């Protein structure tokens, strides 16, 4: 065993553990010597030595032996002459450490949340397509689109829909082996299988499921060997015509560090997104939740306008919306008061303040002109060329949608235009959104970027 050999070995480890783990835990190891079957490494801190020893020792041992070194044990010692690394290098571990290792031979699915069913899922424009696709695969009929990829921002109902599919399949097709797990759990199982040298078991088990659901798949991006295994599992299942359902926080094409072949595999199926909620959907969700709460808080009254106010003021993230309502009910029942505007403002002051980040017309103008690659001055100025007029209308439309400015106020910010011009611009974009896919997409992209 030489330093040079260790250098090569590290490259293999990089592939297995992924870049983050590698940078944090493997790279700082300094190979010292092999003596009496013990390979010794110098580490900068005790903490690090313990961590690596618990989590990667087997893997390192395995690689050392594969490379021909006759080693029975690896040991880590803090060497006085190894400069301590800045503590920022000790990042949070990639694999969930508090999960006690489940034996590989009983492939446990992650538990399903009993609240996440189709019954409790409120359908609106922003999620209707995702909902319809989820319904379809939950029937367990012949596999028509594979994989189904659900993507969208945080708190928009991806996990809810996936659990709903799993519940429904369990009820309709109890004979099917449905496996739901997060991408992190997938990775954890994989690393564990490597460590315990049970890759065969891993492969056999994963290839025996009928429906595989992997939530938040963006987490495997950049983790090369996990991605590779995922890719193989994926292909094996697709070849057997088994349904795969994936979720991600963005479109497959936009996930950084995702291997091209994985990406194109994902794009082969049906890719549907959950859009940020709109006012109607938020109101619908609030009304549904109120019905549910009525059971636990009988006699609770909500003044007119409160739900509308919340739907208006709280962001697109449904989780935040739910949290606000739960707090409101708990508070009202504690103090024994009706939920009116005053109580709402008091109880939710912090939430309301947090969602107050206002998008400005200026910000919209800047983003839109960047997006269309025109100068800000041309957008605001008098030129009537289509290549300026259209972006201008898009910016007007977004200003109307995303800010509380009135039409005359918006007009003023667009070089002193009349409010009827703004109104006309907004109408035009609304029409075009229905007939021109490109415009619809531009508007959606911009809106997301602005609301992010
Ligand atoms: P994601 O996985 O996309 O981050 P979740 O599925 O965890 O989001 O949803 C966050 C919370 O919002 C959950 O409690 C979920 O039940 C709720 N939720 C999201 N969308 C809806 C909806 N359309 N109807 C009812 N509840 C919803
Ligand atoms: Mg989720």
* 3-state SS class at 211: strand
Domain at 361-451: CATH code: 1.10.1750.10
Domain positions in the chain are 3-78, 128-273, 279-354, 361-451
The CA 107 to ligand 2 mean position distance, Å, reads: 21
> How high is the mean pLDDT of the chain?
86
Give the architecture (CATH level 2) of 128-273. 3-Layer(aba) Sandwich (3.40)
What's residue 426's pLDDT? 95
What's residue 23's pLDDT? 81
Written in H, E and C, the secondary structure of 61-72 is HHHHHHCCCCCC
The per-residue pLDDT for range 332-372, each reduced to its tens digit, is: 888 888 999 999 998 898 888 776 667 889 999 999 999 99
Q: Mutate which of 116, 160, 163 to test ligand 1's pocket (most atoms within 8 Å of Cβ)?
A: 160
CATH fit for domain 3-78, picks 3.30.70.980, 3.30.300.180, 3.40.50.20, 3.30.1490.100 = 3.30.300.180
pTM of the complete model = 0.62
Tokens of 161: 């829909």
116 lines ligand 1 (CB under 6 A): yes
409 lines ligand 1 (CB under 6 A): no
Atom index in ligand 1 nearest the CA of residue 215 equals 2
Rg (CA), the chain: 27
Q: Give the Cα separation of 289 and 283 in Å (integer).
A: 10
CATH topology of domain 279-354: Helicase, Ruva Protein; domain 3 (1.10.8)
The answer to whether residue 308 scores a pLDDT higher than 50 is: yes
Q: Mutate which of 149, 155, 248, 311 to test ligand 1's pocket (most atoms within 8 Å of Cβ)?
A: 155
* 3-state SS class at 90: coil
Partner residues linked to 179 by β-bridges? 212
Least confident of 107-111, 237-241, 346-350, 401-405: 107-111
The answer to whether residue 204 scores a pLDDT higher than 90 is: no
């Amino acid at each position: 065993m030489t330093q040079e050999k260790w250098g090569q070995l590290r490259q293999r480890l990089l592939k297995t553990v992924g870049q983050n783990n590698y940078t944090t835990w493997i790279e700082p190891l300094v190979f010292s010597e092999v003596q009496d079957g013990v390979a010794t490494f110098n580490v900068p801190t005790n903490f690090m030595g313990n961590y690596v020893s618990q989590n990667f020792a087997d893997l390192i041992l395995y690689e050392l032996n594969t490379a021909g070194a006759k080693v029975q044990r690896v040991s880590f010692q803090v060497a006085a002459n190894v400069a301590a690394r800045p503590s920022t290098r000790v990042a949070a571990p990639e694999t969930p450490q508090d999960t006690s290792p489940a034996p590989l031979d009983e492939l446990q699915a992650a538990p399903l949340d009993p609240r996440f069913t189709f019954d409790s899922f409120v359908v609106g424009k922003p999620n209707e397509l995702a909902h319809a696709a989820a319904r379809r695969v939950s029937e367990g009929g012949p596999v028509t689109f594979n994989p189904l990829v659900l993507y969208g921002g945080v708190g928009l109902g991806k996990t809810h829909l996936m659990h709903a599919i799993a519940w429904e399949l369990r009820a309709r097709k109890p004979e099917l082996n449905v496996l739901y797990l997060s991408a992190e759990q997938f990775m954890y199982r994989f690393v564990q299988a490597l460590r315990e040298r049970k890759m065969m078991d891993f492969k056999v088990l994963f290839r025996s499921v009928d429906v595989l659901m992997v939530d938040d798949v963006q987490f495997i991006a950049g983790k090369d060997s996990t991605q590779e295994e995922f890719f193989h599992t994926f292909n094996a299942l697709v070849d057997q015509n088994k349904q795969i359902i994936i979720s991600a926080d963005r479109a497959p094409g936009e996930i950084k560090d995702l291997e091209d072949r994985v990406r194109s595999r994902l794009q082969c199926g049906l890719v549907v997104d959950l859009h940020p909620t709109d006012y109607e959907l938020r109101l619908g969700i609030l009304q549904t939740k109120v019905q549910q709460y009525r059971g636990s808080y009988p006699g609770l009254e909500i003044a007119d306008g409160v739900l509308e106010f919340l739907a208006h003021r709280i962001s697109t993230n449904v989780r935040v919306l739910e949290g606000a309502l739960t707090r409101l009910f708990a508070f009202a029942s504690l103090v024994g008061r009706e939920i009116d505007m005053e109580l709402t403002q008091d109880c939710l002051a912090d939430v309301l303040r947090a969602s107050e980040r206002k998008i400005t017309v200026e910000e919209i103008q800047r983003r839109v002109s960047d997006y269309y690659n025109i100068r800000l001055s041309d957008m605001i100025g008098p030129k009537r060329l289509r290549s300026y007029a259209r972006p201008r209308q898009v910016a007007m439309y977004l200003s109307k949608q995303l800010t509380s400015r009135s039409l005359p106020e918006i007009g003023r910010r667009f070089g002193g235009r009349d409010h009827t011009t703004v109104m006309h611009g907004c109408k035009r974009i609304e029409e075009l959104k229905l007939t021109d896919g490109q415009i619809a997409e531009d508007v959606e992209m911009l809106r997301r970027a602005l609301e992010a």
